[in-house]
């Protein structure tokens, strides 16, 4: 019986707490927790409150129901893939016996990603909440089946005082009422049956009306396909928690983008006919005033230019400051021109960026050295296209992405897109971005070229300053065109 398993897991959690207290006393753990810097604003809740369906993606090696999920378990690579594909948050299993999780996994992941992290474990003691803060988590899981009203209230209050959010998990109507009664701000419905381990995603749909609209609603378990993501949109879920299917996917980034895309176009595109919407990169962000429109429109990528001669240049300190203001779901890219590798490493280590874009004459040995210094960090290699030679040079070092730009990068001047006709069918062409001369008016033509993404800077500026109306117009043009193409609507 699952209740027996759940109770066993809870008992084992209590035993782990007892063992941990022998190493670090309650008083010392509490002091460490309050000494740990707290980022204001409850980032987990911010991320799940963003427009559209948010994805909490799980780093999980095993489970009681499925056994070993991933014998090869590159947990850092898995977490990076999730972030780069647009995960709103990452759930890390830390239970060691049945899920083969580890506190160390969470801490390592927290040092590498910018999105908030949920510590997923069986919380039965306030000590574990203090632990979560010191490990680097932004949220903890509280399971109604294991906690009384008073215990839930105590846990919620303690977490709040530490700047942590709580995902309060319910399985039935009574537990949802309990979660609402104690003031839970994020309520999840687990679609897994507590008696036979079967999964029924209709459980979330059946219970959705019991969760007030001012709470964040999460559908957990059983979200394994793009169609499931679309179903979550139709039940008005704010977020879904996805685990096993993502860990098992051969192309985690691609699969998550398919699920996100299905959610975005759940009403605009007939089920089963979704195609990937091109990614959008707004480059050259340098001012706090640029942030609100980005957090509202949520482009997939934002670029910081670290090349000092550029009028859009930002220092590392400024980029770090802007990164903290951006919605965690937005992936930040650092643009460099023949920069020392240590400069790029510092930008990644300080969490200002998650991807690197090379815009100089960086050769294959340089890129190989960069990969060695920053394993798992994706690289975009820019190419100015005059003929096929530009593509050959850019693709020689096997970058993760190529960016095709005009002869004068950053000038807003386009190149002859017909030159891409032969290149874009090349069998070794990685996903590519298109830049140069893109505006709200011209981007629709660019979308017919098979691009992975579009990159714009001057095309969304007025007088050299980012223009919120132009950013909104550009993003609407890309997403509106794609939705209409998918649904057969003529523009």
Catalytic residues: 58, 60, 120, 169, 190, 220-221
Specify whether the CB–CB gap between 317 and 288 falls below 8 A.
Answer: no
DSSP for residue 449: G
224-230: long-range contacts (C-beta < 8 A, 24 or more apart)? 225/259, 226/258, 226/259, 226/261, 226/262, 226/274, 227/262, 227/271, 227/272, 228/201, 228/259, 229/53, 229/55, 229/259, 229/260, 229/262, 229/263, 229/266, 230/262, 230/263, 230/266, 230/271
DSSP for residue 57: E
In whole angstroms, give the CA distance from residue 113 to residue 87: 11
Angle between helices 364-373 and 341-349 (to 10 degrees): 30
Q: Residue 458: how many CB atoms within 10 A of its CB?
A: 21
Q: State how far the alpha carbon of 68 is from the alpha carbons of 9, 190, 192, 365, in Å.
A: 17, 21, 18, 39
How many CA within 13 A on the CB side of residue 194? 15
Q: Residue 369: how many CB atoms within 10 A of its CB?
A: 12
Specify whether the CB–CB gap between 418 and 398 falls below 8 A.
Answer: no
Specify whether the CB–CB gap between 59 and 103 falls below 8 A.
Answer: no
CA end-to-end span of the chain: 56
Q: Residue 157: how many CB atoms within 10 A of its CB?
A: 14
CA 35 vs. chain centroid, Å, equals: 27
| Partner residues linked to 435 by β-bridges | 455
- Write the DSSP string, 74-122: -HHHHHHHHHHTT-SEEEEE---SSS---HHHHHHHHTT--S-EEEES-
306-314: long-range contacts (C-beta < 8 A, 24 or more apart)? 306/334, 306/335, 306/336, 306/339, 306/343, 306/347, 307/335, 307/336, 307/337, 307/339, 307/359, 310/284, 310/410, 311/464, 312/283, 312/284, 312/285, 312/286, 312/410, 312/457, 313/286, 314/285, 314/286
In whole angstroms, give the CA distance from residue 275 to residue 298: 19
Can you say whether the dihedral through the CA atoms of 292, 296, 297, 302 is positive or negative?
positive
Tokens standing for residue 11: 């008992």
Specify whether the CB–CB gap between 326 and 302 falls below 8 A.
Answer: yes
Task: Identify the three-state secondary structure at position 420.
Answer: helix
């Amino acid at each position: 019986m699952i209740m027996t398993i759940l109770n066993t897991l809870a008992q084992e959690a209590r035993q782990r707490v007892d063992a941990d207290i022998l190493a670090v006393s309650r008083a010392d753990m509490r002091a460490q927790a309050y000494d740990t810097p707290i980022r204001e604003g409850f980032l987990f809740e911010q991320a799940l409150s963003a427009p559209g369906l948010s994805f909490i993606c799980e780093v999980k090696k095993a489970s009681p129901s499925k056994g070993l999920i991933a014998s090869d378990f590159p947990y850092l690579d898995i977490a990076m893939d999730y972030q780069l594909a647009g995960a709103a948050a990452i759930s890390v299993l830390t239970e060691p016996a049945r899920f083969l999780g580890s506190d160390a996994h969470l801490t390592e992941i927290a040092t590498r990603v910018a999105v908030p992290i949920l510590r997923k474990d069986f919380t039965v003691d306030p000590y574990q909440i203090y632990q979560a803060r010191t490990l680097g988590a932004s949220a903890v899981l509280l399971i109604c089946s294991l906690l009384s009203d008073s215990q839930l209230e105590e846990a919620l209050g303690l977490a709040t005082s530490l700047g942590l959010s709580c995902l309060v998990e319910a399985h039935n109507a009574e537990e949802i009422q309990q979660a609402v009664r104690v003031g839970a701000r994020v309520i999840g419905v687990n679609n897994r049956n507590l008696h036979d381990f079967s999964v029924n995603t209709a459980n979330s749909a059946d219970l959705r009306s019991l969760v007030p609209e001012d709470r964040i609603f999460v559908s957990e378990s059983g979200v394994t396909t793009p169609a499931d993501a679309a179903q979550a949109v139709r039940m008005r879920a704010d977020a879904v928690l996805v685990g096993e299917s993502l860990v098992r996917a051969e192309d985690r980034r691609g699969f998550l983008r398919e699920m996100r895309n299905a959610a975005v176009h759940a009403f605009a595109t007939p089920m089963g006919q979704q195609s990937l919407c091109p990614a959008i990169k707004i480059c050259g962000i340098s001012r706090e005033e640029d942030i609100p429109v980005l957090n509202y429109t949520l482009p997939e990528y934002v670029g910081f230019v670290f090349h000092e001669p550029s009028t859009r240049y930002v220092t590392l300190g400024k980029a770090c400051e802007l990164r903290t203001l951006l919605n965690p779901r937005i992936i930040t890219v650092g643009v460099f021109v023949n920069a020392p590798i240590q400069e790029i490493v510092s930008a990644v280590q300080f969490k200002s960026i998650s991807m690197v874009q090379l815009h100089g004459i960086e050769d294959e040995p340089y890129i190989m050295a960069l990969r060695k210094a920053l394993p798992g960090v994706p690289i975009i290699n820019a190419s100015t296209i005059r003929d096929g030679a530009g593509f050959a040079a850019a693709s020689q070092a096997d970058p993760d992405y190529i960016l095709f730009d005009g002869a004068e990068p950053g000038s807003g001047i386009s190149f002859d897109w017909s030159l891409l006709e032969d290149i874009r069918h090349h069998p070794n062409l990685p996903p590519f971005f298109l830049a140069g001369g893109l505006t709200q008016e011209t981007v629709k033509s660019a979308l017919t070229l098979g691009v992975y993404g579009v990159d714009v800077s001057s095309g969304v500026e007025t007088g050299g300053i980012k223009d919120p109306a132009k950013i909104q117009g550009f993003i609407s043009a890309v997403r509106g065109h794609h939705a209409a193409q998918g649904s057969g609507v003529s523009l």
